[in-house]
A = this chain, B = another copy of it.
Amino acid sequence: MTEGVDPAFLHRLDEVADRVTVALDQLIPPAAGPEARLMRAMRHGALGRGKRLRPFLAIETGRMFGAQEKSLLRAACAIECVHAYSLIHDDLPCMDDDDLRRGQPTVHKAFDDATALLAGDALLTLAFEIMASPETHRDAMMRCRLIERMASAAGARGMVGGQMIDMHPDFEGEEPLALLTRMQRMKTGALISFSGEVGALLGGALESERHAILGYTNDLGLAFQIVDDLLDLRGDPAELGKATGKDRSKGKTNFVTLLGEEGAEARVRFLAAQAKQHLASFGARAASLLHTVDFVLHRGH
Protein backbone atom coordinates (compact mmCIF):
# COMPACT_ATOMS: atom_id res chain seq x y z
CA MET A 1 0.00 0.00 0.00
CA THR A 2 2.99 2.31 -0.29
CA GLU A 3 3.43 2.06 -4.08
CA GLY A 4 4.56 5.35 -5.54
CA VAL A 5 6.74 6.10 -2.52
CA ASP A 6 10.55 6.13 -2.77
CA PRO A 7 11.96 2.90 -1.19
CA ALA A 8 14.97 4.77 0.24
CA PHE A 9 12.51 7.11 1.97
CA LEU A 10 10.59 4.20 3.45
CA HIS A 11 13.84 2.79 4.78
CA ARG A 12 14.67 6.15 6.37
CA LEU A 13 11.19 6.35 7.89
CA ASP A 14 11.65 2.90 9.45
CA GLU A 15 15.07 3.82 10.72
CA VAL A 16 13.80 6.96 12.46
CA ALA A 17 10.82 5.05 13.90
CA ASP A 18 13.21 2.49 15.38
CA ARG A 19 15.45 5.17 16.89
CA VAL A 20 12.44 6.90 18.43
CA THR A 21 11.14 3.63 19.90
CA VAL A 22 14.55 2.83 21.41
CA ALA A 23 14.81 6.34 22.88
CA LEU A 24 11.25 6.20 24.28
CA ASP A 25 12.06 2.86 25.90
CA GLN A 26 14.87 4.65 27.75
CA LEU A 27 12.77 7.69 28.67
CA ILE A 28 9.67 5.92 30.02
CA PRO A 29 10.43 4.72 33.57
CA PRO A 30 10.93 0.96 33.93
CA ALA A 31 8.04 -1.06 35.40
CA ALA A 32 9.11 -1.29 39.05
CA GLY A 33 7.60 -0.78 42.50
CA PRO A 34 3.94 -1.06 43.52
CA GLU A 35 3.05 1.34 40.66
CA ALA A 36 4.60 -1.00 38.02
CA ARG A 37 1.24 -1.52 36.32
CA LEU A 38 1.25 2.15 35.31
CA MET A 39 4.59 1.88 33.53
CA ARG A 40 3.52 -1.32 31.77
CA ALA A 41 0.45 0.52 30.46
CA MET A 42 2.52 3.55 29.40
CA ARG A 43 4.85 1.23 27.52
CA HIS A 44 1.96 -0.63 25.90
CA GLY A 45 0.55 2.67 24.66
CA ALA A 46 3.77 4.32 23.54
CA LEU A 47 6.13 1.56 22.39
CA GLY A 48 3.87 -0.29 19.94
CA ARG A 49 4.55 -0.25 16.22
CA GLY A 50 3.58 3.17 14.92
CA LYS A 51 4.51 5.20 11.89
CA ARG A 52 6.08 7.82 14.20
CA LEU A 53 5.09 10.41 11.61
CA ARG A 54 5.27 13.34 14.05
CA PRO A 55 8.76 12.47 15.36
CA PHE A 56 9.85 11.92 11.75
CA LEU A 57 8.63 15.38 10.75
CA ALA A 58 10.44 16.96 13.69
CA ILE A 59 13.68 15.12 13.01
CA GLU A 60 13.72 15.57 9.22
CA THR A 61 12.83 19.26 9.43
CA GLY A 62 15.50 19.74 12.07
CA ARG A 63 18.11 17.93 9.98
CA MET A 64 17.31 20.22 7.06
CA PHE A 65 18.23 23.20 9.26
CA GLY A 66 21.26 21.53 10.82
CA ALA A 67 19.86 20.99 14.34
CA GLN A 68 21.64 18.74 16.86
CA GLU A 69 20.57 15.10 16.55
CA LYS A 70 20.27 14.54 20.30
CA SER A 71 18.01 17.56 20.76
CA LEU A 72 15.83 16.46 17.87
CA LEU A 73 15.49 12.91 19.15
CA ARG A 74 14.49 13.98 22.65
CA ALA A 75 12.03 16.61 21.41
CA ALA A 76 10.60 14.05 18.97
CA CYS A 77 10.07 11.64 21.88
CA ALA A 78 8.24 14.33 23.84
CA ILE A 79 5.92 14.86 20.87
CA GLU A 80 5.32 11.12 20.57
CA CYS A 81 4.43 10.95 24.28
CA VAL A 82 1.78 13.62 23.69
CA HIS A 83 0.49 11.72 20.66
CA ALA A 84 0.43 8.38 22.51
CA TYR A 85 -1.43 9.91 25.48
CA SER A 86 -4.04 11.41 23.14
CA LEU A 87 -4.65 8.03 21.49
CA ILE A 88 -4.99 6.26 24.85
CA HIS A 89 -7.56 8.76 26.10
CA ASP A 90 -9.31 8.92 22.72
CA ASP A 91 -9.78 5.13 22.70
CA LEU A 92 -11.50 5.08 26.13
CA PRO A 93 -15.15 3.95 26.28
CA CYS A 94 -16.33 7.47 27.17
CA MET A 95 -14.60 8.79 24.03
CA ASP A 96 -14.34 6.79 20.77
CA ASP A 97 -14.54 3.40 22.53
CA ASP A 98 -12.01 1.54 20.36
CA ASP A 99 -10.71 -1.94 21.10
CA LEU A 100 -7.89 -2.08 18.58
CA ARG A 101 -4.99 0.26 17.86
CA ARG A 102 -1.95 -0.49 15.69
CA GLY A 103 -3.18 -4.08 15.55
CA GLN A 104 -2.99 -4.46 19.34
CA PRO A 105 -5.65 -4.25 22.06
CA THR A 106 -6.00 -0.61 23.18
CA VAL A 107 -4.58 0.20 26.62
CA HIS A 108 -7.94 0.06 28.42
CA LYS A 109 -8.60 -3.35 26.81
CA ALA A 110 -5.17 -4.73 27.73
CA PHE A 111 -5.45 -3.23 31.25
CA ASP A 112 -8.59 -1.36 32.38
CA ASP A 113 -10.12 2.11 32.06
CA ALA A 114 -8.53 3.59 35.19
CA THR A 115 -5.07 2.35 34.25
CA ALA A 116 -5.47 3.74 30.71
CA LEU A 117 -6.59 7.10 32.08
CA LEU A 118 -3.57 7.27 34.38
CA ALA A 119 -1.13 6.02 31.73
CA GLY A 120 -2.28 8.84 29.43
CA ASP A 121 -1.91 11.40 32.23
CA ALA A 122 1.59 10.13 33.00
CA LEU A 123 2.70 10.23 29.35
CA LEU A 124 1.51 13.82 28.96
CA THR A 125 3.40 14.78 32.11
CA LEU A 126 6.50 12.93 30.91
CA ALA A 127 6.42 14.86 27.62
CA PHE A 128 6.95 18.12 29.51
CA GLU A 129 9.57 16.59 31.78
CA ILE A 130 11.57 15.46 28.73
CA MET A 131 11.30 18.85 27.05
CA ALA A 132 12.36 20.78 30.18
CA SER A 133 15.53 18.76 30.79
CA PRO A 134 18.91 20.38 30.02
CA GLU A 135 19.70 17.23 28.02
CA THR A 136 17.19 18.35 25.37
CA HIS A 137 18.91 21.66 24.65
CA ARG A 138 21.66 23.64 26.38
CA ASP A 139 19.62 26.88 26.24
CA ALA A 140 16.76 27.08 28.76
CA MET A 141 15.06 29.84 26.74
CA MET A 142 14.77 27.41 23.83
CA ARG A 143 13.36 24.70 26.12
CA CYS A 144 10.76 27.07 27.55
CA ARG A 145 9.77 28.18 24.08
CA LEU A 146 9.31 24.56 22.98
CA ILE A 147 7.25 23.86 26.11
CA GLU A 148 5.02 26.89 25.57
CA ARG A 149 4.45 25.95 21.93
CA MET A 150 3.83 22.28 22.79
CA ALA A 151 1.32 23.20 25.50
CA SER A 152 -0.43 25.54 23.12
CA ALA A 153 -0.61 22.89 20.36
CA ALA A 154 -1.79 20.17 22.76
CA GLY A 155 -4.15 22.18 24.97
CA ALA A 156 -7.62 23.72 25.05
CA ARG A 157 -7.01 25.86 21.94
CA GLY A 158 -5.31 22.97 20.14
CA MET A 159 -5.58 19.19 20.27
CA VAL A 160 -7.81 18.81 23.35
CA GLY A 161 -10.09 21.59 22.08
CA GLY A 162 -10.36 19.73 18.77
CA GLN A 163 -11.32 16.55 20.58
CA MET A 164 -13.98 18.50 22.45
CA ILE A 165 -15.46 19.79 19.17
CA ASP A 166 -15.34 16.24 17.83
CA MET A 167 -17.37 14.96 20.80
CA HIS A 168 -19.77 17.86 21.52
CA PRO A 169 -19.50 20.78 19.09
CA ASP A 170 -20.98 24.10 20.14
CA PHE A 171 -22.08 24.95 16.62
CA GLU A 172 -22.74 28.68 16.71
CA GLY A 173 -24.17 28.38 13.22
CA GLU A 174 -20.83 27.53 11.65
CA GLU A 175 -20.95 25.97 8.18
CA PRO A 176 -20.25 22.16 8.46
CA LEU A 177 -17.11 22.09 6.29
CA ALA A 178 -15.65 25.14 8.07
CA LEU A 179 -16.36 23.55 11.47
CA LEU A 180 -14.88 20.21 10.40
CA THR A 181 -11.76 21.92 9.04
CA ARG A 182 -11.36 23.90 12.25
CA MET A 183 -11.84 20.75 14.31
CA GLN A 184 -9.22 18.90 12.28
CA ARG A 185 -6.71 21.76 12.45
CA MET A 186 -6.99 21.65 16.23
CA LYS A 187 -7.38 17.90 16.85
CA THR A 188 -4.63 16.55 14.59
CA GLY A 189 -3.22 19.56 12.74
CA ALA A 190 -1.83 21.47 15.73
CA LEU A 191 0.52 18.69 16.89
CA ILE A 192 1.63 17.89 13.31
CA SER A 193 2.40 21.58 12.79
CA PHE A 194 4.26 21.73 16.09
CA SER A 195 6.39 18.76 14.96
CA GLY A 196 7.68 20.69 11.97
CA GLU A 197 8.08 23.82 14.09
CA VAL A 198 10.26 21.94 16.60
CA GLY A 199 12.70 21.12 13.82
CA ALA A 200 12.70 24.71 12.59
CA LEU A 201 13.21 26.14 16.09
CA LEU A 202 15.96 23.70 17.07
CA GLY A 203 17.68 24.28 13.72
CA GLY A 204 17.59 28.05 14.13
CA ALA A 205 15.51 28.55 10.97
CA LEU A 206 14.76 32.08 9.80
CA GLU A 207 11.28 33.52 10.36
CA SER A 208 10.47 33.10 6.63
CA GLU A 209 11.68 29.49 6.71
CA ARG A 210 9.58 28.77 9.77
CA HIS A 211 6.53 30.12 7.97
CA ALA A 212 7.22 27.93 4.94
CA ILE A 213 7.41 24.88 7.23
CA LEU A 214 4.18 25.92 8.92
CA GLY A 215 2.41 26.20 5.55
CA TYR A 216 3.74 22.78 4.62
CA THR A 217 2.63 21.07 7.86
CA ASN A 218 -0.78 22.75 7.74
CA ASP A 219 -1.49 21.31 4.29
CA LEU A 220 0.12 17.98 5.12
CA GLY A 221 -1.93 17.65 8.30
CA LEU A 222 -5.21 18.34 6.56
CA ALA A 223 -4.33 15.95 3.71
CA PHE A 224 -3.45 13.33 6.33
CA GLN A 225 -6.88 13.66 7.94
CA ILE A 226 -8.78 13.43 4.65
CA VAL A 227 -6.80 10.29 3.74
CA ASP A 228 -7.76 8.95 7.18
CA ASP A 229 -11.41 9.53 6.38
CA LEU A 230 -10.99 7.79 2.99
CA LEU A 231 -9.34 4.85 4.76
CA ASP A 232 -12.19 4.72 7.26
CA LEU A 233 -14.47 4.26 4.23
CA ARG A 234 -12.51 1.69 2.27
CA GLY A 235 -9.39 0.65 4.23
CA ASP A 236 -8.62 -2.90 5.22
CA PRO A 237 -9.06 -3.30 9.02
CA ALA A 238 -6.32 -5.98 9.12
CA GLU A 239 -3.79 -3.69 7.48
CA LEU A 240 -4.97 -0.58 9.35
CA GLY A 241 -4.77 -2.36 12.68
CA LYS A 242 -8.04 -0.78 13.74
CA ALA A 243 -11.74 -0.92 12.91
CA THR A 244 -13.03 0.87 9.79
CA GLY A 245 -16.39 2.32 8.82
CA LYS A 246 -16.65 3.89 12.27
CA ASP A 247 -17.73 7.34 11.12
CA ARG A 248 -20.35 5.90 8.78
CA SER A 249 -21.77 3.54 11.40
CA LYS A 250 -21.99 6.42 13.88
CA GLY A 251 -23.54 8.74 11.29
CA LYS A 252 -20.60 11.07 11.87
CA THR A 253 -19.64 13.88 9.52
CA ASN A 254 -16.18 13.65 8.00
CA PHE A 255 -14.46 15.00 4.88
CA VAL A 256 -15.71 12.10 2.75
CA THR A 257 -19.33 12.47 3.85
CA LEU A 258 -19.14 16.22 3.15
CA LEU A 259 -17.08 16.27 -0.07
CA GLY A 260 -17.90 12.85 -1.49
CA GLU A 261 -15.21 10.29 -2.31
CA GLU A 262 -14.03 11.99 -5.49
CA GLY A 263 -14.20 15.44 -3.97
CA ALA A 264 -12.12 14.25 -1.02
CA GLU A 265 -9.52 12.72 -3.33
CA ALA A 266 -9.31 15.92 -5.35
CA ARG A 267 -8.85 17.92 -2.13
CA VAL A 268 -6.02 15.63 -1.05
CA ARG A 269 -4.24 16.07 -4.41
CA PHE A 270 -4.63 19.84 -4.19
CA LEU A 271 -3.29 19.97 -0.62
CA ALA A 272 -0.38 17.69 -1.52
CA ALA A 273 0.67 19.93 -4.41
CA GLN A 274 0.34 23.01 -2.22
CA ALA A 275 2.35 21.39 0.60
CA LYS A 276 5.19 20.66 -1.83
CA GLN A 277 5.02 24.22 -3.15
CA HIS A 278 5.81 25.56 0.33
CA LEU A 279 9.10 23.65 0.22
CA ALA A 280 10.22 25.00 -3.17
CA SER A 281 12.73 27.47 -1.75
CA PHE A 282 14.59 24.72 0.13
CA GLY A 283 15.55 22.86 -3.07
CA ALA A 284 17.04 19.39 -2.72
CA ARG A 285 17.44 19.76 1.06
CA ALA A 286 13.69 19.20 1.37
CA ALA A 287 13.70 15.81 -0.41
CA SER A 288 12.67 13.88 2.70
CA LEU A 289 9.80 16.26 3.50
CA LEU A 290 8.63 16.05 -0.14
CA HIS A 291 8.60 12.24 0.03
CA THR A 292 6.60 12.53 3.26
CA VAL A 293 3.78 14.09 1.23
CA ASP A 294 3.73 11.11 -1.15
CA PHE A 295 3.82 8.77 1.80
CA VAL A 296 0.80 10.42 3.42
CA LEU A 297 -1.06 10.24 0.10
CA HIS A 298 -0.37 6.59 -0.58
CA ARG A 299 -0.40 5.14 2.91
CA GLY A 300 -2.63 2.16 3.50
CA HIS A 301 -2.63 2.76 7.27
Interface secondary structure of A, over-half rule: helix
Q: How far is the CB of A95 from chain B (nearest CB, A)?
A: 5
Question: What are the residues of chain B within 8 A of A141 when measuring CB–CB?
Answer: 140
- Given A140-B143, A144-B143, A147-B132, is A160 in contact with B34 using a C-beta cutoff of 8 Å? no
Q: How far is the CB of A116 from chain B (nearest CB, A)?
A: 8
Interface segment out of the listed A51-59, A171-179, A286-294: A171-179
Any B CB within 8 A of the CB of A246:
no
Any B CB within 8 A of the CB of A25:
no
- Given A122-B161, A151-B126, A170-B34, is A117 in contact with B144 using a C-beta cutoff of 8 Å? no
A: which residues have CB within 8 A of B? 29, 33-39, 42, 85, 89, 92, 94-95, 112-115, 117-118, 120-122, 124-126, 128-129, 131-134, 139-141, 143-145, 147-148, 151-152, 154-157, 160-165, 167-172, 174, 179, 182-183, 186
Q: Do B117 and A92 touch across chains, with their CB atoms under 8 A apart? A: yes
Known: A33-B172, A35-B165, A144-B147. 14 other contacts (CB 8 A): A29-B157, A34-B169, A34-B172, A35-B186, A38-B160, A89-B118, A112-B168, A121-B124, A128-B128, A129-B155, A131-B147, A132-B145, A140-B141, A143-B144
Question: What are the residues of chain B within 8 A of A121 when measuring CB–CB?
Answer: 85, 89, 120-121, 124, 160
- Given A140-B143, A164-B118, is A113 in contact with B94 using a C-beta cutoff of 8 Å? yes
Q: How far is the CB of A66 from chain B (nearest CB, A)?
A: 23
Q: Nearest residue in B to A179 (C-beta to C-beta)?
A: B34
Q: Do B34 and A156 touch across chains, with their CB atoms under 8 A apart? A: no
CA distance A128 to B154 in the complex (A): 11
A-B contact pairs, 23 of them (CB 8 A): A34-B174, A34-B179, A34-B183, A35-B156, A35-B157, A35-B161, A35-B164, A37-B168, A38-B161, A85-B121, A94-B114, A95-B114, A114-B168, A117-B117, A118-B160, A118-B167, A128-B147, A129-B151, A129-B152, A131-B147, A132-B144, A132-B145, A132-B151
Q: Do A156 and B89 touch across chains, with their CB atoms under 8 A apart? A: no
Q: How far is the CB of A163 from chain B (nearest CB, A)?
A: 6
CA distance A129 to B131 in the complex (A): 12
